[in-house]
Amino acid sequence: MVEAALTGFLSVVAWPTIGYLFAGVLAGLFLGAVPGLSGLVGLAILMPFTFSMDPVPAFALLIGMVAVTTTSDTIASVLLGIPGTSASQATIVDGYPMAIKGEAARALGAAFTVSAVGGLLGAVLLGVSLTFVKPLILSFAQPEIFMLALLGLAMVGSLSGGSVLCGLIAALGGLGFSYVGYAENGALPRYWLGTTYLLDGLPLVPFVLGLFAIPELIELTAKGTSISKVPRSSVSGGLVTGIIDACRNWWLVIRSTVIGAYVGLLPGLGGSVVDWVAYGHAVQSARDKEGFGKGDVRGVIAPEAANNAMKGGALVPTIALGIPGSPLMALLLGALLIHDLTPGPEMLGSKLQITYSLIWSLAIANVAGAVLLMLVARQLALVTFVNGLLLVTAITVFVFMGAWLSSSNLGDWFVLLAFGAIGYVMKQGGVPRPPMVLGFVVGPIMENALFITNHAYDGLSWIGRPICLVIGALIVLSLILGSRWKKQSSLATGSSHETQSADPTIKLVAISMLLAFSIWGLMPTFTWATDVGSIPMMTFIPAIGLAVLALVLGLKEIRHVHSSGGDVFPSRRNLGQIAHLHFWWAGIVVTTIVVGQLIALPLFVACHIRFVVKRSWLTAILCAAGTWAFIHILFDRVMAVIWYPSMLFY
């Protein structure tokens, strides 16, 4: 084994393999930093270029790209409050509040440091685990997968917002939205509103960008100021402070790395919940919990260490068992087969040196990506001090193009804007959004796991399985500790980022929307076949009960605020800005229908910079030209995006 590891290392650091590795790292850093792009997109682009290459340099390129997307996705999560990928949701809870306080450089310094450590140690754990990890993977059958998904929902529901009640309602709402389209275990379409676009379900990227990006754009427009609420001159500490924070919390980094590596082992689920499990562990193991949710650097350290270590864990079932745990790993499995590498005994036997070359590529890429980002972290942090209206112009282009990449259908933009409205109402009302995203992501996994479990076991006997009992105890413990933490830290009164300006009237609107959706979703389940309707029914019935309880509590809150002389509807001041911004977005959609995106988006940039940001026509035209060149080169030439067939330029 030592000889194979040494041979694998020498093959990776030799030229030209090391050059391909760094090329993949640069591509991955870009793909992870832009919301809507991801490692999956990168693999789809790069794989055809590797077909004629030798296996080691080919996988150095691919692994280098895949490894660092969960490092650079921190940029959007911290600076903009938008998850760069689904693995960076938990980072937003404390990372974005740090940016608002002017501590973006500190957050990025800590995140990039632990990303390097987590990725490196995750690769080491992968290397030493290859020989004995198979029994661990096989011990997790469908009942354990279902229970672990419940644990992830409990973690995010109890730790990401102002109240456990609202968090659980949001999580159940996310599960409900995941049922749109054909059922996982039947040919019956559900909640498709008679449009073929929804038969395949709601697309993930527009869903996430709508919930997170659109509300931040509205808020930046309403404020008309930078992301940071404090001037740059008053900020003390920065990149070095973040590095020191990471070193000071070394034991948390180690624990989170282990969590990431071994939760990442679980096929189909690890990457969806690992950051929340690590974040929950950080909160529940901390002595002083008051800072979490308000900009505590430990809330950045734990998920960032875990989601980088997760990549090493996710490779194990792919290499050792041929079981891809995600679409990303499925593509990587395809690349292995194309290069005549069969997962299983061969990769752990005669081709062990190639397996170790993958591990070394993963380790080196994580360190290289973190170092490169560290070099530009200070410059990246300056984004939080830039005019917010300029950011709105730039981010809008990325958000709309990121959403379009989902299926190249105009429906992607309608989903983006619809869930943007829902996300804004939830944010203003203090109803946490991360639980909804996690519910949406794990919904199909949970439905399939529970379907198989119910058919494989008699009644609820599967609950008595040892691992299920342990996970069940962790679920109860996380809900209890999560509630206690919020009471102790006063998060329930609105001191976290997600709830610091909660509008009690908008909160009622948000809960009412989720209640109405749950009632509408429950009604047809009584007429569907059991295999198709039972799981949505199990979701919507508790959602209705919890939403009714939340409405009652919300009405009491409004009466209390009113009796104390407070404003029960502060969000009305932003209605004008909301209408103004939606006018611009509607203009993008209409112009696209007429002339296509290659004209609509640069035209939006020119007009927005000239009339909203109030810069000169020369500046507006130059920015529009740069936008056109960027879209044309990246999306048209490199990615070969299918554009909307406009009326004038079909």
Share of the chain above pLDDT 70, in %: 87
- Tell me the mean pLDDT in the region 103-127: 86
- Segment 421-439 shows an average pLDDT of 87
> Per-residue pLDDT averaged across 136-160, rounded?
75
489-507 per-position pLDDT tens digit: 544 334 445 545 578 889 9
Return the closest-CA partner of residue 239 out of 70, 101, 377: 377
Mean pLDDT score, 151-177 = 79
Residue 120 has pLDDT above 80, yes or no: yes
Asked whether the beta carbons of 300 and 118 are under 8 A apart, the reply is: no
Average pLDDT (480-497) is 54
For residue 588, pLDDT beyond 90:
yes
* pLDDT given for residue 484 in this prediction: 64
Question: What pLDDT, on a 0 to 100 scale, did the predictor assign at position 495?
Answer: 43
* pLDDT confidence of residue 133: 64
Least confident of 112-121, 392-401, 473-482, 503-512: 473-482
pLDDT of residue 85: 66
* Residue 297 scores a pLDDT above 60: yes
Q: What is the DSSP string of 69-137?
A: HHHHHHHHHHHTS--SSGGGHHHHHHHHHHHHTT-HHHHHHHHHHHHHHHHHHHHHHHHHHTTT-HHHH
pLDDT band with cut points at 50, 70 and 90 for residue 594? very high
Q: What does the pLDDT average to over 606-624? A: 93
In the block, residue with structure tokens 């082992």 = 265
Q: What mean pLDDT is predicted for residues 447-457?
A: 86
* Of the ranges 29-43, 310-324, 572-586, 603-617, the best mean pLDDT one: 603-617
Can you give the pLDDT at residue 489? 52
| CB proximity list for 382: less than 8 A, separation 6 or greater | 232
Is the predicted pLDDT of residue 449 greater than 80, yes or no? yes
Task: Compute the average pLDDT of residues 451-463.
Answer: 84
3-class SS at 190?
A: strand
pLDDT of residue 271: 62
- Which pLDDT score is estimated for 605? 95
Residues 6+ apart with CB under 8 A from 435: 153, 156, 157, 160, 161, 167, 168, 170, 171, 174
Q: What percent of the chain has pLDDT over 90?
A: 23
Q: How much is the average pLDDT of 560-571?
A: 78
Least confident of 70-74, 249-253, 338-342, 429-433: 338-342
The CA-atom distances, in angstroms, between 129 and each of 251, 312, 323, 426, 598 are 21, 10, 16, 43, 49
Quick one: pLDDT at residue 331? 73
**Per-residue pLDDT reduced to its tens digit, 341-382:** 777 667 767 777 888 888 888 889 988 988 998 888 888 877
Q: Which of 1-5, 167-171, 280-284 has the lowest mean pLDDT?
A: 1-5
Position 12 scores a pLDDT of 86
Nearest to 38 by CA among 327, 257, 278, 268: 327
Q: What is the mean pLDDT of residues 255-283?
A: 78
Arithmetic mean of pLDDT over the chain: 83
DSSP letter string over 543-577? HHHHHHHHHHHHHHHHHHHHHTT--S-GGGGGHHH
- Would you say the C-alpha torsion 441, 447, 448, 453 has a positive or negative sign? positive
Question: Could you tell me which of 433, 599, 430, 576 has the C-alpha nearest to residue 505?
Answer: 430
Query: Alpha helices, DSSP H only, in 457-503?
Result: 466-489
User: For residue range 396-415, what is the model confidence (pLDDT) as tens digits?
Assistant: 998 898 889 878 899 999 99
State mean pLDDT over 248-254: 92
Which is nearest to 360 in space by CA: 15, 555, 127?
127
Higher pLDDT, 373 or 337: 373
CA distance linking residue 154 with residue 157, whole number of Å: 5
Give the pLDDT mean for 73-82: 84
pLDDT band at 525 (very low <50, low <70, confident <90, very high): very high
What's the pLDDT at 490?
46
Instruction: Give the residue-averaged pLDDT of 86-112.
Output: 85
pLDDT band, residue 384 (cuts 50/70/90): confident
Confidence at 130, pLDDT banded by 50, 70, 90:
low
- Which has the higher per-residue pLDDT, 491 or 485? 485
Lowest mean pLDDT among 145-154, 389-398, 605-614: 145-154
Q: How confident is the model at residue 236 (pLDDT cuts 50, 70, 90)?
A: low
Residue 175 gets which letter from DSSP? Answer: H
